[in-house]
Chains A and B, each alone.
Chain A
Amino acid sequence: MLRVIGAPSVESLFAHIPQKLRAERPLDVGPALDEVSLLDHLSSLAGQNHAAQVSGHLSFLGGGLTPHHIPTAVDALLGRAEWYTSYTPYQPEISQGTLQAVFEFQTMVAEIFGMEIANASMYDGASAAAEAILMARRLNGRPHAVLSAGLHPHYHEVADSYLSGLHPEAEQVYRTARLDPTSGCTDLRSIEAALDEQASCVVVQSPNYYGVVEDLAPIADLVHRKGALLVVVTTEPLVYGLLQPPGALGADIACGEGLGLGFYSTLGGPAVGLFASRAAHTRAMPGRLVGETVDKDGRRGYVLTLATREQHIRREKATSNICTNTGLMALAFTIHLCLLGRRGFQELARLNLAKAEYARRTLAGLRGFGLRYQGRTFNEFALKVRGGDARAAVERLAGEGIFAGVPVRGPEGEGEAYDTLLVAVTERHRKEDIDRLAQALDGACP
């Protein structure tokens, strides 16, 4: 090869890198490991973690990621190299598999949210919410956003990171609408007070971070009356197997996190950001879009389309900087929803509701605990740990093989005590599991 190139050595191919820029020493990242040693090393690291499937922990963790059972067929199909070792489908003639799967994903996301269109996915729920705010700003030219205090605190933080560059002078780049202390729903008057003519959108999560299902229709009315857009976020799309979707209640953009229904939780990533909108706003959307068309012989086929919104064509004028999204996770989500189907999606939602209602009633009656909010919930709810520290209770129960939930502060955040426990209950929990949690929690907080 060197002879064909006309180079004396491989090293000579690097000769044009000036000496003063060259690496001063060899790389030190540890010795190369053979496959046996490699697997031993990684197994040992994996073994230092506790996980439901490893150490037998019983887990009620949710808080933005509620893991569901992922049918075996999902991973079996995902393991086909034609899916996971291909790239973004730039050449449609040899990428119809990915393109058609994305088209089906877009259809299902739109259906679940009751929206007209959806894109090919975003990184995760938090960046989807942040990009929704940016999209709303593009649509109506107003600079600010109003965020419900029921929006996941990490989503608040990511929105803050995304927006602060656009308002370098501002102390706070968004306003917060507080929660009603009794129901746990976003307080309408608080939204109204924050919603001036500078506000491009109101972002509401439902069910919100504390599990409470929001009453979206009156919020949509208010938001639209003020000329702003309503962004509805969900971290648990399964709820729309049972309840009215955001599209039917006036949302202009609906987005959220699909990982819980898509794939193994994997410490929260890779995730899959879901993003849907009204068709009128298609050209303001971020991310890839796949559209149906025909080939030269008139056969149905699919292509990446409306690329004039995107960074590789429009550069600084693009609607987003996103390039790689989360194709494989979107495929996992699609396969799972195909397996569930219309009926299974509804039944799974009902099952989650029933189990969570049983847990809610059981746990709220325990000594030292009560419901933080009275509002209606789906498969997650907030327990108030009276006079106690939810973090200590969680640590203690982890030692007994139970992840009891996510210990959190109240919606005012900063300064509040960690006196709230978010408990998520799904089809994976048997009645005995819930009873075991109740028994372990009983008296755990004096």
Chain B
Amino acid sequence: MTTKTMTNTTKTNQKRGPVETRQLLHQEAPIFEQGTPGRTGASLPPLDVPAVDEKALFGELLRPEGEAAHLPEVSEVEVTRHFTRLSRWNYAIDIGLYPLGSCTMKYNPKVNERVARMPGFASLHPSQPVSTLQGALALMWALERALCEVGGFTRATLQPAAGAQGELTGLMMIRAYHQDRGRHPTKVLIPDSAHGTNPASCTINGFEARPLKTGADGLLDIDSLRAAVNDDTAAIMITNPSTLGLFEERFGDIIEIVHRAGGLVYMDGANLNALMGKFRPGAVGVDCMHINLHKTFTTPHGGGGPGSGPVGVGPALEPFLPTPTVAREGDRYWLDFDRPRSIGRVHSFFGNFGMHVRAYTYIREMGGEGLTQATELAVLNANYLRARLVGTYPLAYEKPSMHEVVLTDKRLKKETGVQTLDVAKRLMDYGYHPPTIYFPLPAVTGGAGALMIEPTETETPETLDAFAESLIAIAEEAGREPEMVKEAPHHTAIRRLDETAAARKPRLRWTPEGGE
């Protein structure tokens, strides 16, 4: 087995000591290149019933031995080492600051994991009689109530498996609402700063997405909205705070303009963590909002999921919620399928219940005051980084920041040729995951490359200081030795990867001939 010892020896580092990233990592071959024929890590129970003559039963439907699924042939030790070694090639929140803007990488409390693995939750089957699921239904009911309280809604569905599926679910309900009134509007208005999922959700549900311009101040341009709204407007889909980290100060007007034209207001709740206890969207007229439990409510992101995207609704959309909903009478809970105007199901079963358990645990641990404080600290931390960094990385917009701040490479690129991507890659050498980059799109940030930084409330002032100093040091490096920054990262176990080659001739699975 080859090993590789990391070194950090660039001149600059000796001068200013970045966080140590020295580490022993194993170059780990694909699992298919390990083991030996016949080896297995399985422990199967014995056959205690009569054997079956498979040939007689299935004949030519049997999979020929030579065409068996080519799965690895390795022991439990090999499997354990493989996945332990691979895990060490990952950055993670438990390793350090992960300031991905809009993704809200806050700390995931360990108690959530313990609770989610209680057998009384983890081993439940979705088709058990409801009389045997009373605790689970009580939890779903209580989570729905808590999310409605935070969002200002009357009801919510927990079914959507992620934020984007929540968007789709919301749009389905909006369509059903209009159809119920004999209307068939076809357009959904979406600010150009929105997440890509918003227009994509519209398309796959048959709506046409119409972009709205961001105004000179970074907020939605109200004139652009007024000009776009008409009786073909099904809804506006708006993120608040926007992806620029700015609160839409004219939100009251926006809601009124859309409602007056017969449209509904969908709020993308990706940034709800900036609002808890301060602003309840449903209470001021938002008709529908998805909530990313994996952002605001600390369920882990899992390397790309599972997420969970409950959708809160006001009275207008309540009849259209997916079935089943959880119903309650006294201390008994049941599943309500009798909802004639429902859009139907969006999940195989009840949504990502394991994530519901974690989010509920977090909410109960925090209480109302705690959630409000989480929002306050998230906004404080973002504004602190803004104040520390604005002299080096100019803002995309000057308006007050909420939970995240969007900085740009405007000055750096002009003065040194070093740009956002290079800064991001160099940050890894300092021991951080980079922020979200090039989003919002350059069209929204005046052509500059965006660095969208969201520190979250779970970071200490010391961590924020060290991060800010790293970003400032990188700007200095860019002035002194721009080529070094453009070649970054230097300390990671693997260097910049050839993404063009990967896309030109995609190799999406392991094959024996491709092996080394």
Contacts and interface: CB of A to CB of B under 8 A. Distances in A.
Instruction: Identify the interface centre among B139, B164, B249, B508: most chain A CB within 10 Å of its CB.
Output: B508
A221 interface: no
B251 interface: yes
B204 A321 contact: yes
A29 B502 contact: no
Interface in B294-319: 294, 300-308
A55 B486 CA distance: 60
Nearest to A86: B92
A326 interface: yes
Instruction: Identify the interface centre among A22, A67, A97, A116: most chain B CB within 10 Å of its CB.
Output: A97
B338 to A, nearest CB: 14
Nearest to A350: B54
Nearest to B35: A341
Interface stretch (A175-183, A282-290, A365-373): A282-290
Contacts of A47: 120, 135
Interface stretch (A223-231, A260-268, A436-444): A260-268
Instruction: Identify the interface centre among B308, B368, B494: most chain A CB within 10 Å of its CB.
Output: B494
Instruction: Identify the interface centre among A32, A42, A124, A265: most chain B CB within 10 Å of its CB.
Output: A42
Nearest to B377: A10
Interface stretch (B168-176, B224-232, B406-414, B476-484): B168-176
B187 to A, nearest CB: 12
A316 B203 contact: yes
A358 B350 CA distance: 32
Chain A interface residue number, banded:
35 or more
A196 interface: no
Contacts of B135: 44-49
A305 B87 CA distance: 21
Contacts of A290: 508
A188 interface: no
Instruction: Identify the interface centre among B41, B82, B343: most chain A CB within 10 Å of its CB.
Output: B41
Contacts of A27: 149-150, 276-277, 368-369, 371-372
A158 B139 CA distance: 24
B278 A318 contact: no
B502 A343 contact: no
A267 to B, nearest CB: 4
Given A38-B364, A95-B90, A121-B305, A7 B383 contact: yes
Contacts of A311: 164, 195-197, 199-200
A315 B124 CA distance: 38
A93 B163 CA distance: 26
Chain B interface residue number, banded:
35 or more
B446 interface: no
B330 interface: no
B450 interface: no
A31 to B, nearest CB: 5
B371 A6 contact: no
B400 A269 contact: no
B92 A61 contact: no
A161 B168 CA distance: 10
Given A46-B121, A94-B492, A295-B494, A64 B367 contact: no
A305 B506 contact: yes
B167 to A, nearest CB: 7
A312 B100 CA distance: 15
B327 interface: no
Contact of B196 (A80, A90, A315): A315
Nearest to A259: B348
Interface stretch (A12-20, A197-205, A381-389, A412-420): A12-20
Given A291-B502, A294-B501, A350-B54, A327 B303 contact: yes
Interface string B487-509: 00100111111110111001111
A266 B86 contact: no
A430 interface: yes
A127 B136 contact: no
B1 interface: no
Given A47-B120, A316-B209, A427 B149 contact: no
Given A107-B510, A282-B506, A61 B303 contact: no
A89 B304 contact: yes
A244 B368 contact: no
Interface string A170-190: 000000000000000000000
B131 A165 contact: no
Contacts of A300: 516
Contacts of A281: none
Contacts of A232: none
A112 interface: yes
Contact of B94 (A44, A82, A342): A82
A42 B361 contact: yes
Contact of A341 (B71, B115, B368): B71
A148 interface: no
A381 to B, nearest CB: 13
A21 B304 contact: no
B266 interface: no
Contact of A93 (B83, B199, B489, B509): B489
A68 B69 CA distance: 19
Nearest to B115: A42
Contacts of B162: 123, 322-325
Contacts of A94: 89-91, 428, 433, 489, 492
B15 interface: no
B216 interface: no
Given A41-B364, A86-B92, A269-B352, A343 B38 contact: yes
A49 B499 contact: no
A23 B369 CA distance: 13
A22 to B, nearest CB: 6
A1 B494 contact: no
A331 B91 CA distance: 16
Instruction: Identify the interface centre among A35, A98, A324, A403: most chain B CB within 10 Å of its CB.
Output: A324
Contacts of B357: 42
Given A50-B132, A89-B303, A32 B31 contact: no
A91 B421 CA distance: 10
Given A85-B93, A104-B31, A301-B494, A21 B279 contact: yes
A314 B162 CA distance: 19
A96 interface: yes
A82 B371 contact: no
Nearest to B100: A87
B89 A96 contact: yes
A104 B199 contact: no
A384 B259 CA distance: 53
B371 A342 contact: no
Given A49-B134, A76-B80, A87-B105, 8 more contacts: A32-B364, A71-B41, A88-B303, A111-B69, A152-B348, A267-B353, A296-B496, A321-B204
The 10 closest A-B pairs by CB, nearest first: A46-B120, A268-B349, A32-B367, A48-B135, A328-B302, A344-B42, A327-B304, A27-B368, A270-B306, A268-B126
14 contacts: A4-B384, A26-B277, A27-B369, A48-B138, A53-B123, A89-B304, A93-B425, A123-B306, A161-B344, A242-B58, A321-B201, A326-B306, A329-B302, A403-B128
